[in-house]
């Protein structure tokens, strides 16, 4: 564990999110809302889930008194969500850039979506959210293909490393 590795993952997450949001900007409302069998019922619901998870972990890290899962109440437009997701993605990157490496082993208390609390070390929660977002972005690729969107490109970590060199 070192700061360079964590800031690199945060930059990758922001880069990949920006590409995915660019794809989502290109689909219409029917594609956005189409019911498809996956972890979540649509592209919309999957995108809300990713943005919500990234936002809630920042809230847990900054000890927001009453964090709210965006996914439990979001009723805005696609553009509203993209604005929130962009801000959150950049916020996650800014947070890790400024978070002291000596705090990576500090415990973070979190609340499960269906109630109850848990605790992990910061580095574990950060690793989790990067992995979580990557997993669901992969689902978005499949969902986008299922609604006929094929203007896709690789957003994996190796592609990111090659791209930034």
> What pLDDT is recorded for position 53?
97
Q: What is the CATH number of the domain that holds 86?
A: 1.20.120.450
Over the stretch 97-108, which tens digit does the pLDDT of each residue have?
999 999 999 999
Domain that holds residue 99: 3-164
Answer yes or no: are the C-beta atoms of 134 and 128 closer than 8 Å: no
Q: Rounded to a whole number, what is the largest CA-CA distance in the chain?
A: 47
Number of domains the chain is built from: 1
pTM score above 0.85: yes
What proportion of the chain, given as a percentage, has pLDDT over 90? 93
Is 73 annotated as contributing to ligand binding? no
pLDDT above 80: residue 1: no
pLDDT value at position 50? Answer: 98
The rounded percent of the chain whose pLDDT value lies above 70 is: 99
* Model confidence pLDDT, tens digit, residues 17-74: 999 999 999 999 999 999 998 999 999 999 999 999 999 999 999 999 989 899 999 9
In this prediction, residue 100 carries a pLDDT of: 97
Q: With bands split at pLDDT 50, 70 and 90, how would you rate the model's confidence at 165?
A: confident
CA distance 84 to 82: 5
Three-state DSSP at 152 gives coil
Nearest Cα neighbor of 152 from 59, 43, 7 is 43
| Confidence at residue 107, expressed as pLDDT on a 0 to 100 scale | 98
Looking at residue 68, its pLDDT comes to 87
Which of the 8 DSSP states describes residue 104? T
C-beta of residue 96 within 8 angstroms of C-beta of residue 5: no
């Amino acid at each position: 564990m070192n700061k360079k590795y964590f800031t690199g993952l945060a930059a990758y997450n922001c880069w990949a999110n920006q590409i995915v949001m660019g794809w989502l900007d290109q689909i219409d409302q029917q594609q956005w809302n189409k019911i498809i069998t996956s972890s979540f019922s649509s592209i919309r619901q999957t995108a809300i889930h990713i943005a919500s998870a990234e936002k809630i972990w920042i809230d847990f890290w900054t000890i927001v008194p009453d964090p709210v899962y965006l996914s439990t109440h979001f009723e805005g437009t696609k553009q509203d969500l993209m604005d929130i997701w962009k801000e959150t993605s950049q916020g996650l990157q800014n947070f890790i850039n400024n978070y002291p490496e000596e705090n990576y082993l500090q415990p973070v208390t979190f609340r499960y979506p269906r109630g109850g609390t848990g605790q992990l070390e910061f580095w574990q929660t950060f690793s989790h959210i990067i992995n979580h977002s990557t997993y669901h972005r992969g689902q978005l690729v499949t969902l986008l293909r299922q609604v006929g969107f094929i203007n896709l490109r690789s957003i994996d970590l190796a592609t990111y490393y090659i791209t930034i060199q």
